Amino acid sequence: MQTENKKVLLSIRDEKQYFPIKKTGFREEQKYVKANDGISIDIYEGETLGLVGESGCGKSTFGRTILQLYPQTDGEILYEKDGQMINLKELPAEQMRELRKDLQLIFQDPYSSLNPRMTAGQIIGEGLVAHGKFKKGDPALRDYVMDVMKKCGLDSYMYGRYPHQFSGGQRQRIGIARSLALNPRFVVCDEAVSALDVSIQSQILNLLSDLKEQEHLTYLFITHDLSVVKYISDRIGVMYLGNMVEIAPTEELFARTLHPYTKALLSAIPTTDANDKRERILLEGDIPSPVNPPSGCKFHTRCYQCQEKCKCETPVLEDKGNGHFVACHYPLEA
């Protein structure tokens, strides 16, 4: 609905990320885990794009590949800067390093993502020094870091404390303060609230939405928690086994679900409504191996309305109006 008048921040075309697996035999052919197998999507400035899917479907890989934390296998990731589209894959390491201040990441696990040997102040301030915004030991740096900490709900006396002296929620706030200190434009929140308990989750989610308004951020919000994604996202992308199967604005996705997999996912959201008449769709079997994904539509092995065509022909993302894209031969209600 708003796609035309919005500015594209990241344009991703046919992004692929494969990881080699260790060969067991001597003359065995090299096999790959196809974590992302051809993803195309545009991310608009100022939006929150939610990304959902089962464990192991490649959500986190997608977020990290955008930030070039893995050597990208194939495809284009174009980043808009000063009216130019920059292909991140082709960028030399040094220039990519400089661009990192624009593209930031908030990690899932606030326990392992903070260096245990640095104080909160050092963790937050280090990136600023690395990008030459401040000199090391500059008193202005200390003030700036404390300012960012305050914005993220941390008190200034916490400046000199080590990560192990904080609670999980506070640690996640340090992680957020760390990424926002650099004034990024785009932040990947990789399961940013999954490791926290529910009351802290809502605090952090509110903090993230407030910061988004203040700092004009764009989020890629990766989660497997559908209630969270519904709450925070403008648009939602659904992933299955390394592919994007459905992309739609949040309201639209919940009101008019087109992909059978999305339908099954949504039916799994727990509810407190006793009169809820939704049918619970149970998917059978496990997610297939990303090493040898099924032919045709990758979902056909578990789909409850699979047809012959699904087994041999790979569906592509098609526009169904209202900014709603789906990759299915037989979409629901269409």
- By CB under 8 A, name the binding residues for other proteins: 64, 67, 69, 93, 97-101, 104-105, 107, 109, 112-117, 126-127, 130-131, 162, 164, 175, 178-179, 182
DSSP category for residue 163: G
Dihedral-angle region of residue 193 (phi above 0 means left; psi in -120 to 50 means alpha; beta otherwise): alpha
Work out how close the CB of 80 gets to other proteins at its nearest, in angstroms, rounded to a whole number.
19
Say how many CA atoms lie within 13 Å of 25 toward its Cβ. Answer: 5
Residue placing its CB nearer to other proteins in the complex, 123 or 247: 123
Which string of DSSP letters, residue by residue, matches 166-206?
A: S-HHHHHHHHHHHHHTT--SEEEEESTTTTS-HHHHHHHHH
Work out how close the CB of 115 gets to other proteins at its nearest, in angstroms, rounded to a whole number.
4
> Which residue in 127, 109, 131, 107 sits closest to 118, CA to CA?
127
Residue placing its CB nearer to other proteins in the complex, 123 or 248: 123
Contact 178, 101 (CB under 8 A): no
Work out how close the CB of 93 gets to other proteins at its nearest, in angstroms, rounded to a whole number.
8
Residue 171 neighbours by CB under 8 Å, 6+ apart: 110, 111, 114, 163
Work out how close the CB of 116 gets to other proteins at its nearest, in angstroms, rounded to a whole number.
6
Residue placing its CB nearer to other proteins in the complex, 131 or 230: 131
Residue placing its CB nearer to other proteins in the complex, 175 or 331: 175
Residue placing its CB nearer to other proteins in the complex, 47 or 190: 190
The total of other beta-carbon atoms located within 10 Å of residue 323's CB is 15
Interstrand relation of 218-222 and 243-249 (parallel, antiparallel or unpaired): unpaired
User: Token digits for 260?
Assistant: 């059978």
Work out how close the CB of 235 gets to other proteins at its nearest, in angstroms, rounded to a whole number.
24
Work out how close the CB of 98 gets to other proteins at its nearest, in angstroms, rounded to a whole number.
7
User: Token digits for 84?
Assistant: 């130019």
Work out how close the CB of 90 gets to other proteins at its nearest, in angstroms, rounded to a whole number.
18
Residue placing its CB nearer to other proteins in the complex, 69 or 86: 69
Residue placing its CB nearer to other proteins in the complex, 127 or 294: 127
Q: How far apart are CA 234 and CA 79, in angstroms?
A: 20
Helix (H, G, I), strand (E, B) or coil at 99: helix
Work out how close the CB of 162 gets to other proteins at its nearest, in angstroms, rounded to a whole number.
5
Q: How far apart are CA 202 and CA 208, in angstroms?
A: 10
Residue identified by tokens 């619970």 is 280
DSSP category for residue 267: T
Residue placing its CB nearer to other proteins in the complex, 180 or 226: 180
Q: How far apart are CA 106 and CA 174, in angstroms?
A: 10
Residue placing its CB nearer to other proteins in the complex, 112 or 295: 112
- Provide the angle, in degrees to the nearest 10, between the axes of the packed helices 198-215 and 168-180: 10
Work out how close the CB of 3 gets to other proteins at its nearest, in angstroms, rounded to a whole number.
29
